[in-house]
């Protein structure tokens, strides 16, 4: 009986506290064009996962860390193969092809960590390293935050990575496959890592994620004003 009650109380809490995101359970009828985490019966669409639905955009965000590549997304991965005509990037459970015209080839080595933009998903996944914000990521630390968690975090606070850069004085970027890359002072990286761990504890609650980030922003503004 308790297992039946908790999801309903949890759903009410989420809607009340963060109205733009709706908790959905597997089997819930939803209004979305997302095909990755849904199924259709008699022209009605249903969620196949536990996650959050953005009621404005129709985006379905899994609570766990499924990742399916989509055109236009930025990802972080490693170069695992190099030929005169193309490179191979490995990321999560996928591999992508980078044609020679889409990469700064003279700088690329096997095992190079790179950020790329997916521009085609089909029989092959094709990626560009020449798109804005893409290229080689030298040094730094790579954090596997999780694709679902990162997507939820950026739905709640689209400026989160930019603010991390400002507050902790770091170079930072991310891939929608769930990775966050940080480079800079080790003490500040440790502070950012601690924040990400705290956010990870609340990945099921958009309200708490927003509250933790709000508190961080307020504390930062107070320190700046001193």
pLDDT tens digits, 59-101 = 888 877 778 899 999 999 999 999 989 999 999 999 999 998 9
What is the reported pLDDT for 217? 80
Residue 8 has pLDDT above 80, yes or no: no
Residue 111: which pLDDT band, with cuts at 50, 70 and 90? very high
Domain with CATH 3.30.1370 in the chain: 141-225
Ramachandran sector of residue 70 (left: φ over 0; alpha: ψ -120 to 50; beta: rest): beta
Residue 13 has pLDDT above 60, yes or no: no
What is the reported pLDDT for 211? 85
What is the reported pLDDT for 179? 97
Dihedral in degrees, nearest 10, Cα atoms 161, 216, 194, 201:
-90
74-136: CATH class? mainly beta
CATH architecture group of domain 2-62: Beta Barrel (2.40)
Query: Does the structural domain 141-225 have CATH classification 3.30.1370?
Result: yes
The residue-averaged pLDDT of 182-195 equals 94
């Amino acid at each position: 009986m308790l297992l039946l009650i908790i999801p309903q109380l949890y759903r009410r809490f989420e809607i009340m506290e963060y109205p733009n995101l709706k908790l959905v359970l597997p089997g819930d009828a939803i209004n979305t064009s997302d095909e990755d985490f849904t199924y259709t019966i008699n022209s009605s669409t249903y969620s196949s996962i536990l996650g959050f639905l953005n009621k404005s955009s129709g985006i379905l965000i899994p609570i766990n860390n499924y990742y399916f590549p989509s055109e236009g997304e930025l990802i972080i991965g490693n170069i695992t193969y190099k030929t005169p005509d193309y490179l191979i990037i490995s990321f999560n459970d996928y591999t992508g092809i980078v044609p020679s015209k889409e990469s700064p080839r003279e700088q690329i080595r096997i095992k190079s960590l790179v950020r790329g933009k997916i521009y085609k998903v089909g029989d092959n996944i094709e990626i560009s390293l020449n798109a804005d914000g893409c290229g080689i990521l030298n040094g730094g630390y790579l954090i596997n935050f999780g694709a679902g968690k990162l997507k939820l975090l950026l739905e709640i606070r689209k400026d989160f990575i930019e603010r991390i850069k400002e507050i902790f004085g770091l170079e930072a970027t991310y891939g929608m496959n769930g990775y966050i890359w940080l480079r800079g002072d080790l003490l500040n990286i440790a502070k950012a890592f601690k924040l990400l761990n705290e956010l990870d504890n609340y990945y099921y609650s958009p309200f708490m994620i927003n509250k933790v980030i709000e508190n961080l922003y307020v504390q930062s503004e107070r320190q700046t004003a001193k």
